[in-house]
Chain A
């Protein structure tokens, strides 16, 4: 880790870096007045032992043997039980210096620091989840005080259980450098938590809207991921009781497994594996369940029972991970092929997450790769990028769903409108046909019969009978079709209509036209006539009105029907109801017009119908 190398870099970007620095023969760090930020691995080497050696002393040093290790960080393999590293600090300044020795891995089991003083070891401190001796921060640290011009040699002693490899960065920093790094880390972590919370809120919101379990799963994934990341960054060490810190590692293992399981299952849904790769999906699901159970078994049972086979087990476990990684990548590309736009976002987010996971795995299990930035692991950044892209993608998906739904709803409304229009139109045609048939054909024939009859027989009673039939036919015909619109125009037809209403109803109706065009399109005229008829019927039936004003206006590009009554008015609820108003609305829509209905309780009703005309 080279923090000072990055400190000047403001635009943080994730750069893959594999540190393969050479172990230095010189294990002394010279402390001057400048800030110190040094990777311990750069100038020290590791001595390991496969047996537990306790207590550690200068006499037991020969039970350790050195390993050739070119890694930039400390890596203790499966079967290592004990290890130590030796380094010296030389204070060349005249001031006392506090050097912070910090560890990136939060689940250190036990690490002791000794200072060699005149051939004896003095115990400087112990850290680790097994034998906690001091309150901790997020990361483990020990402060080494170096007196002015002092040169001191330290031994860093690791004790760990076999079967669990250990990988950690160890950094030596002067206090100012340490606090600066910690500040940056806090900002990053804070942003990460904010991002998770925002995405979580957003997902819950979307779930509430569209009720798709997919979003609930994403929410669970975010929570599992947050727990995993929190424990991996060492927050369990702060929140848990000091005596139960080992529990933090269990949380870590369970949460990483859980988030992996949800991630993979979630990916199956999002990438529509069921549709594109049903066979792969089934095997992925089987493998993920096996993997989950197996890892839990490994962590909680196998380590103590079959410690010899742990390495084999772990390799089997890695194989399943490898399979899942390849499967998700294949599914991503297949999905990408079918859904280019959305697929690209998924692909990016999944690739980042899978890469991050692989790096994490290789680092902690094989000590192969190591990526970190400002002391925070690559998986941290990878998952942040993943969340951003996944949330964005899900938003896009929701947008698509909504657009589809809206167009569907619009189509439905349009369809309904069409049905109603067709109904009204059909009704009109049918009325016209039946009315015409009655009036012209049957009426004419009866009339003719009467005339023929009257030319031969002078039977008054018979003639009266014929006249009655003719009158009936005429009345029926007229009641279903306003055929006279074509003969006398709309205003004539309305005049006739009012004539018949006057006979039966106690209603004063004023009807006036103002520059209303004589030669109005017959369809429009018929529609307007029906609307007037409908409105009058409504008034007679419900309004309890005594006065109605009907007016027809001819404007430059439109005609307007104004219909006012002084009745009791309709309540809001009533307005939307009733076939009458609906059919009026439908007629107006067919004419591309506007229907303005305003009615207040007790103030009567005013209806305006505005119909655009082609005339200028």
Chain B
């Protein structure tokens, strides 16, 4: 069906894993491992030389990690299909690789069928491939009222300090009446300003009133 086998480059720092993958893929028709490298520095020349269709990329690599390599490749607009192969099964990591432009995510303890499916899937399909057992990341929250509401959530301590600040009290006085150090108050104040996106006490008071924060 496919005349030309899909060229695969493996980027992985454990030789035993490379050997294992090679021996398994040898049995897959239509796929051929053309090269294996163990770091970013040797990956780039290999990509230039072989122009592979698929890159099997480990996340945990010396010096530059897999996600950084993925970012580099996409920044260079390299079209190679990237299939992440890792031990990490974390929602955050999965969603990170999705957003950075990977094409699939496989766990290292995947079965040979899963590997085959993954290779088949990424070579034909643009949809992200989730390997067996991979935790699917939820869709990102849309930025909107919800996000804004989250942003201006105040902790009890911050509320207390804002109350004093809105009364026009100065940091040393607040520290005295709250029995905490002036630096603590100052830090909270700085955090509140950053959180609410204000930079003066006048703006703070206005913001608090407009949004009825207290």
- Footprint of B on A, CB under 8 Å? 436, 439-441, 443-452, 454-455, 463, 466-467, 470, 474, 477, 483-484, 486-488, 492-493, 495-496, 499, 510, 512, 514-515, 549, 551, 553-555, 560, 562, 564, 566, 594, 596, 598, 600, 604, 606, 608, 610
Contacts and interface: CB of A to CB of B under 8 A. Distances in A.
B59 interface: yes
B7 interface: no
Interface string B172-199: 0000000111011001101100110000
Given A441-B14, A487-B93, A600 B179 contact: yes
A570 B117 CA distance: 55
B151 interface: yes
Nearest to B179: A600
A549 B155 contact: yes
A492 B97 CA distance: 12
Contacts of A451: 20-21, 24, 109-112, 115
Interface in B15-29: 16-17, 20-21, 23-24, 27
A189 B185 CA distance: 60
A443 B191 contact: no
A474 B89 CA distance: 9
B123 interface: no
Given A449-B20, A512-B151, A596-B180, 17 more contacts: A441-B14, A444-B87, A445-B17, A447-B108, A454-B112, A454-B113, A455-B24, A455-B27, A463-B111, A512-B150, A512-B153, A549-B155, A551-B195, A553-B191, A555-B194, A598-B181, A606-B180
B90 A598 contact: no
A446 B183 contact: no
Given A439-B60, A487-B67, A564-B155, A610 B90 contact: no
B24 A484 contact: no
A482 B187 CA distance: 28
Interface residues of B, number: 48
B91 A496 contact: yes
A540 to B, nearest CB: 19
Contacts of B111: 450-451, 454, 463
B92 A495 contact: yes
13 contacts: A439-B87, A440-B87, A444-B108, A448-B17, A470-B108, A484-B90, A496-B90, A499-B91, A514-B195, A549-B155, A551-B195, A562-B155, A606-B157
A295 B106 CA distance: 105
Contacts of B109: 443, 446-447, 450-451, 466-467, 470
A592 to B, nearest CB: 15
A553 B194 contact: yes
A444 B184 CA distance: 47
A514 B113 CA distance: 44
Nearest to B59: A487
A452 B93 CA distance: 26
A390 to B, nearest CB: 45
A543 to B, nearest CB: 14
Contacts of B107: 447, 470
Interface string B32-51: 00000000000000000000
Q: Which 3 A-B pairs have the closest CB atoms?
A: A447-B108, A448-B20, A447-B109
B96 interface: yes
Contacts of A488: 67, 90, 92-93, 96
B156 interface: yes
Contacts of B181: 596, 598
A455 B110 CA distance: 11
Contacts of B91: 495-496, 499
Contacts of A606: 157, 180, 184
Contacts of A496: 90-92
Contacts of B67: 487-488
A549 B159 CA distance: 13
Contacts of A512: 150-151, 153
A484 B93 CA distance: 8
A510 B152 CA distance: 12
A514 B90 contact: no
B171 to A, nearest CB: 14
Contacts of B194: 514-515, 553-555
Given A450-B109, A598-B184, A443 B153 contact: no
A492 B93 contact: yes
Most chain A C-beta atoms within 10 Å of own C-beta, residue among B27, B110, B187: B187
Contact of B156 (A441, A463, A566): A566
A464 to B, nearest CB: 11
Contacts of A499: 91
B87 A560 contact: no
Contacts of A495: 91-92
B207 interface: no
Contacts of B108: 443-444, 447-448, 470
A24 to B, nearest CB: 83
Nearest to B18: A448
A564 B20 contact: no
A510 B188 CA distance: 17
B78 interface: no
B190 to A, nearest CB: 6
Contacts of A598: 179-181, 184
A516 B108 CA distance: 32
A562 B65 CA distance: 29
B144 to A, nearest CB: 16
Contacts of A566: 156
A443 B107 CA distance: 11
A492 B92 contact: yes
Contacts of B195: 514, 551, 553
Contacts of B20: 448-449, 451-452
Nearest to A510: B153
A487 B69 CA distance: 11
